[in-house]
Amino acid sequence: MKIRMIAPLGMSPPVITEGILYLERSKQIDVSDVVLLATQNQDVEASVDLIKTCLNVNRPNCMVSVRRLNFEDIKSSEDNAEFMKAISREIKEAWVEGYKEVHLNVAGGRKDMCISASIVGSFLNVNSVFHIISPDVKTANMELERMREKINKLHKSEDKISYYKENREDFDRLMFPDVRTWYGVEIPILPYPRGLLRLCKKILSKDIIRYEELKGERLENDFLESLQKLGYADVTKKEIRVSALGRMVGSIIPQV
């Protein structure tokens, strides 16, 4: 059974392996592959190499692939929109390829990534969205910084597997910490009706849409009021004038 875990990645690689352990322990499932969404950052690249090498050594049946984002950090609404589109593509690709389950691990990356990934996950009916929490953040960060030099050396090594194995005790202690030092938190999501997503996509993909174009659609007053309150559109008696913000949101909503 093919099961995919999708995860944005920051500079804390242990949250990826902890996420795999969390799914194994809490849901009794074996993750068959991991997709990492990585920004253009040298430390993030080093984290990618550590994760790939660690899983190659410890979970050889778990494949790892990387989708690189076109920015170093999310610094604008446009960057965040691109990130949400990337998450959407990976989820849709998994369903098309016949994966039985898709889980989102949102512990890596910044808080905006966590929030945005959770929203996209609810759009596309993933099996779960979860976060990894380390109550003793100070100790976890100290351990990570203690290993930073070795992580960078592994990143530069021509034989990463050999270097990992030479330092396996240290790397495994970092990547597979005592399960009593962290825990997983399920983030509740609600499935979005496909009809509502299609309607939002139809409206927010245009500059102006007249009501004649929406014949047969259920246009409830609270829905139209929400478009106005959120700043997505100016709703008049004859038409809906979509704002730049609304069009950006429309570009994020997946085709369903």
Domains and CATH numbers, the chain: 3-186 (3.40.50.10770), 195-252 (1.10.10)
Joined together, the tokens standing for residue 29 give 């499932």
Q: What residues contact residue 147 under an 8 Å CB cut-off, 6+ apart?
A: 170, 171, 174
Q: Are 91 and 120 in contact (CB under 8 A)?
A: yes
Across the chain, mean pLDDT equals 92
Distance CA 240, CA 215 (A): 14
User: 147 — phi, psi (to 5°)?
Assistant: -95, 0
- The pLDDT of residue 73 is 76
Q: What is the DSSP letter of 185?
A: E
Q: Are 81 and 248 in contact (CB under 8 A)?
A: yes
User: Which portions of the chain are predicted below pLDDT 70?
Assistant: none
Q: What is the DSSP letter of 34?
A: E
Q: Taking the CB of residue 178, how many other CB atoms lie within 10 A of it? A: 7
Number of H helices, E strands in the chain: 11, 9
- The pLDDT of residue 156 is 96
- The pLDDT of residue 39 is 86
Q: Are 1 and 97 in contact (CB under 8 A)?
A: no
37 by DSSP, 3-state: which? strand
Which residues share a beta bridge with 63? 33
**Closest by alpha carbon to 177, among 152, 141, 129?**
141
Q: Taking the CB of residue 131, how many other CB atoms lie within 10 A of it? A: 19
For the chain, the residue count is 256
Per-residue pLDDT reduced to its tens digit, 209-228: 999 999 888 889 999 999 99
Q: What is the DSSP letter of 97?
A: T
With a threshold of 0.75, does the pTM exceed it?
yes
